[in-house]
Amino acid sequence: MMLNALKRGISREMRNMWQRCSVAVMLASVLFLQTWGLDTSKPNILLIMADDLGYGDLGCFGNTTIRSPNLDQLAKEGVKLTQHIAAASLCTPSRAAFLTGRYPIRSGMASSNKQRVLHWNAGSGGLPTNETTFAKLLQQQGYVTGLIGKWHQGLNCESHNDHCHHPLNHGFDYFYGTPFTLINDCQTGKNPEIGLKQKATYWFYTEIVVLLVLTLLLGKVTGLCSVKWKTIAFIALCGIVFFFCWFVSYGFVNYWNCIILRNHIILEQPMETEKSASRILKESISFLERNKKGPFLLFVSFLHVHTPLVTTKMFRGKSRHGLYGDNVEEMDWMVGKILAAVDEKGLRNNTFTYFTSDHGGFLEARDGDVQLGGWNGIFKGGKAMGGWEGGIRVPGIVRWPGMVPADTIIDEPTHLMDIYPTVAHLAGASLPQDRVIDGQNLLPLLQGSAQHSEHEFMFHYCGSYLHAVRWYQKESGALWKVHYVTPKFNPEGAGACYGQRMCQCSEEAVTHHNPPLLFDLLRDPSEANPLSPNSEPLFNTIVSQIERGVDEHRRTLTPVPEQFAVYNNIWKPWLQPCCGTFPLCWCNKGIGDDDHMSIF
């Protein structure tokens, strides 16, 4: 143990020396840039987020078979964050935390039921209007702000055009993309995802009504029962209305959810999934061109690499990992095109560039024996698992030439929520003082003026249930993690919930641990060997210290409306975005095929 501690100390000291040298170089660079009249006070900000990308899917994070040359180069030119953590293991709550710098439970974007993401464009749940996103902060500082790609934070509250949750109501000047997410229902021939259990239940009830009506008719005709025709007609009418109500919502999911907007205007309903990648890329480059004089904030929120893994012909069949690998390689190519556009417009040196994923890879995404989800490296678990590392540890890359050292690795705990105070600082914006901001400014750590993360505790929720907590001791460098609740894998020991679409957070689907499972993440990052009072003399002390942190954290929470409550997360026809006369919602105002072909 002493030898390991000594090795860690030597390694830490060498890294500290390197970072101190880097600080000196960067200070000289700043003086040089200012001497030549280049404004570094308000850099452009480019944030790129993948969807469902696993920690181990990129070459720069250990993958030796999927090709990611552009992201590997980005990591070489900047800083790689190896302990970068998402606030949730599903997209809607994770992205809410990213946008606001706050744990999702603070904004009501954490669920106490099984619906842990927004299920409809026509639901009333979404990112509350009283939340302040980093886009809104930067907009107030004179930045032109744009979001290209996926939103998945809701649209409307009370009418189909109040746009209360819309990106333009949360600080973005421009939006092009889907207000929802990419799902199997968006692509012809794929097995649907939305409401599988509900549809089966509703079909069952419909069949019961049909059987009842037929039985009554038979009894009436044969004289076996004296039921009035009006009664039979009324039951039949109720059955027809019931069938219509549920089938209209679940039978046309691609029309209701799979749409493309430009600002408030619906361009495609349903969206042309095969052309979505080229159009997102074209829109991103166009935004850079329009705003190259800066300062700008561009958030590119990819649909890649979410199932159904829509991949263009140019990349299909090219990787060694099937369709998933093809999709990752296409995403990397798109990143390369965006970064090339930054270079061509002379923006590289004054652009803070960041890449990450919203959470870990989707282990249960399979087509027979074919894996359709990501690889989370050595880490246990994946998407939808609130505490296990594979669901919440994500790639993190930052590049800012001359201001952030190149080819550097930071092993300190960092968080997606840290981007909020970081970009606010870069823009000269003040953080809101009327609420708790959980993120920490990354710049001191990135630039080497600070050696340790400012995070002492990180809280890992599954919906609104606290499943795990990590405790970082700056002085010793120790990194502990306790699990109070873990999902029950299906089959047992499989490492995922293959018997269902994804792991759940509560009730019979989980195991509660008292005392909690304790892991030393520095020695056991795979969380394979839980410690005990016999194997770890400080077991009780560590657990009690973490419980103190949990108590302090809970004292900062205040009750807020739950955005994923059943009523907020059901399809409401009056909230449905429609480019025609409801329910005849169909249009295609997208850019032409020539634009698609010119990109690919």
Q: Is the dihedral of CA 99, 100, 104, 108 positive or negative?
A: negative
Parallel/antiparallel/unpaired status of strands 44-50 and 351-357:
parallel
Let me know: does 361 contact 381? Beta carbons within 8 Å.
no
The amino acid at residue 479 is: L
CA separation for the pair 301, 304 (Å, rounded): 9
DSSP state of 486: E
Active site (annotated) includes residue 306? no
Q: What are the residues whose beta carbons fall under 8 Å from the beta carbon of 323, sequence distance 6 or more?
A: 309, 311, 316, 370, 372
Q: With H, G, I as helix, E, B as strand and everything else as coil, classify residue 267.
A: strand
Structure tokens at 97: 């935390």
Q: Can you spell out the DSSP letters for 222-261?
A: HTSS---HHHHHHHHHHHHHHHHHHHHHHTTHHHHH--EE
Let me know: does 175 contact 282? Beta carbons within 8 Å.
no
| 511: nearest Cα among 329, 385, 408 | 385
Selected catalytic residue, list 91, 503, 579, 585? 91
Q: To the nearest 10°, the Cα dihedral for 568, 467, 91, 299? A: 120
Count Cβ atoms below 10 Å from residue 424 Cβ, excluding itself: 22
Core vs surface per residue 486-512: b (16+ CB within 10 A) or e = bbebeeeeeebbeeeebbbbbeebbee
Count Cβ atoms below 10 Å from residue 2 Cβ, excluding itself: 6
Q: What are the residues whose beta carbons fall under 8 Å from the beta carbon of 514, sequence distance 6 or more?
A: 484
The continuous run of DSSP H or E covering 540 comes out as helix 539-555
**Bond prior to 308 in cis (omega within 30° of 0):** yes
CA separation for the pair 61, 427 (Å, rounded): 30
Selected catalytic residue, list 84, 119, 152, 483? 152
Structure tokens at 121: 């464009």
Core vs surface per residue 52-76: b (16+ CB within 10 A) or e = bbbbbbbbbbebeebbbebbbbbbe
Q: Angle formed by the axes of helices 196-222 and 229-250, to 10°?
A: 160
Let me know: does 578 contact 551? Beta carbons within 8 Å.
no
Nearest-5° angle of CA 241, CA 244, CA 249? 135
Q: With H, G, I as helix, E, B as strand and everything else as coil, classify residue 103.
A: coil
Let me know: does 151 contact 176? Beta carbons within 8 Å.
no
The continuous run of DSSP H or E covering 411 comes out as strand 408-415
Let me know: does 458 contact 470? Beta carbons within 8 Å.
yes
Let me know: does 302 contact 331? Beta carbons within 8 Å.
yes
Active site (annotated) includes residue 152? yes
User: Mind telling me the catalytic residues?
Assistant: 91, 152
